Amino acid sequence: MKYAPVQNYINGQFVNASTDQTLPVISPLDGTVLSAVPLSAPKDLDAAVRAAKIAFHGWSHTPIKERVQVLFRYRHLLEKHLQELAALVSEENGKTIGEAVAEIEKCIELTEFATSLPQLVTGEILEVSKGVECRTEHAPLGVVASIVPFNFPSMVPNWTIPNAIALGNCMIIKPSEKVPLNVGRLAQLLKEAGLPDGVFNVVNGDSSIVNAICDHPGIAAVSFVGSTKVAKIVYQRATHHYKRCLALGGAKNHLLVLPDAKADMTAQNVAASMSGCAGQRCMAASAMVAVGNVDHIIQKICEEAKKIVPGENLGAVINKESKDRIEHYISEAEAQGAKILLDGRHTTVPGKEQGTYVGPTVIDYVKPDMAVAKEEIFGPVISIMRTDTVDEALAIENANPYGNAASVFTQNGGMARYVIDRASAGMIGVNVGVPVPREPFSFGGWNESKFGVGDITGKSSIEFWTKLKKSTVKWNPEAGVNWMS
């Protein structure tokens, strides 16, 4: 193994799990065994919750202006160790170095936003009657948990960590067992930044720890990012135990391409959106609806996609199971009559034959009822459906059960507004292939892409990670009493 076995991080210390069961951590780049991750038991989670509960009293009573000083230092450390963190992301996830660097840069932006929270949670105060004041304050929830996926080993944890702890909570994070190394390194940087022991804890494991988090009476809130199937289970299980829960699921994002779209810009955006991070992101373009005659744009998309080379500017998919599943979708679509314009099946990279790569794939003449058109593929594959009108295209987009993102490519402002108003998705792009909002705007979809109310990032996250305390105060008895006081 290249790295030492992964350990849990509890009360400021790396500790062994209580079980001997482990899983290998394998790099999708070349099949190298990087480490081994423990399959923790519920009593390991109990230890983390106890540590977080003890830390909560002091941390929650630390003024927020002081709490975010830790995050200022943490942000500096992310910047200082950017290349090291990016290399680790690339190794365990399979991203290209450029994509991994961009991921850490996004972590820096997320942390910058968290440092601004003192200016956003000042509360309100009003004299509601003579001598009587009403006031609201944001109070932390207590011990909270974050369950994160494999596709962004550093960014998704940083969707939750800075905001939750800046607002006074203590956190337990459960990394994906496929990519546990980054979260352990983040724990070290938070400690170096001065975060008190117990405020941030890491418990590794598989679905049994996810279940234990949902069930644990000492955990007040749970955030989850992953597939829709699991998001539903987590949301139902956590709320069954009266926890606050926000579970983000999968996506099938539709790009509507109109004949008046700028061909070069559209092709570049579509190709980058479908292949970035090897298509392993919930904001990837996986379905394109060609409205009218856009053959010239489709040709350019294929030309752009051919410039995307596995092992160079296209990373690996997470493991062999994913590679096999993605290639099955392509083969099934072909058997059903779709036309493969660019085929990424059976891809190998010289010198990295044990890596798990799928080349960029463009599939045309896909029917809306095909699996490749309806289901989340999570690979560098785009399925092209054809319609005569925008309304027909919108009907296809609206019929899909997900609602993360949709984009329209056009030079007609009125038509862009028409699509924005009618697309059933929480994040909309105009001439943008990956319409991810920048901070302070929140990330979050609709329909079966999100379960729960609010968001876990941006300004909206304040409502998720805190509860309101309302106080009414009167000091002057001489003011008399009326119905308002």
Q: Residue 178's pLDDT is what? A: 98
Q: Residue 479's pLDDT is what? A: 67
Single pTM value for the model: 0.95
Supply the Cα-derived Rg of the chain in whole angstroms: 24
CA quadruple 385, 387, 391, 397: dihedral, nearest 10: -10
CB count in 10 Å sphere of residue 68: 22
Residue for token digits 């609806």?
Answer: 289
DSSP reduced 3-state for 277:
helix
Q: Residue 356's pLDDT is what? A: 98
How do the pLDDT tens digits run along the chain, 485 residues long? 999 999 999 999 999 999 999 999 999 999 999 999 999 999 999 999 999 999 999 999 999 999 999 999 999 999 999 999 999 999 999 999 999 999 999 999 999 999 999 999 999 999 988 888 999 999 999 999 999 999 999 999 999 999 999 999 999 999 999 999 999 999 999 999 999 999 999 999 999 999 999 999 999 999 999 999 999 999 999 999 999 999 999 999 999 999 999 999 999 999 999 999 999 999 999 999 999 999 999 999 999 999 999 999 999 999 999 999 999 999 999 999 999 999 999 999 999 999 999 999 999 999 999 999 999 999 999 999 999 999 999 999 999 999 999 999 999 999 999 999 999 999 999 999 999 999 999 999 999 999 999 998 999 999 999 999 999 998 877 766 666 55
Instruction: Name residue 146's beta-bridge partners.
Output: 173, 223
Q: Residue 129's pLDDT is what? A: 85
The 8-class DSSP code of residue 187 comes to H
Catalytic residue from among 107, 214, 277, 282: 282
Taking the C-alpha atoms of residue 110 and residue 469, their distance in angstroms, rounded to an integer, is 26
> Is 134 an active-site residue?
no
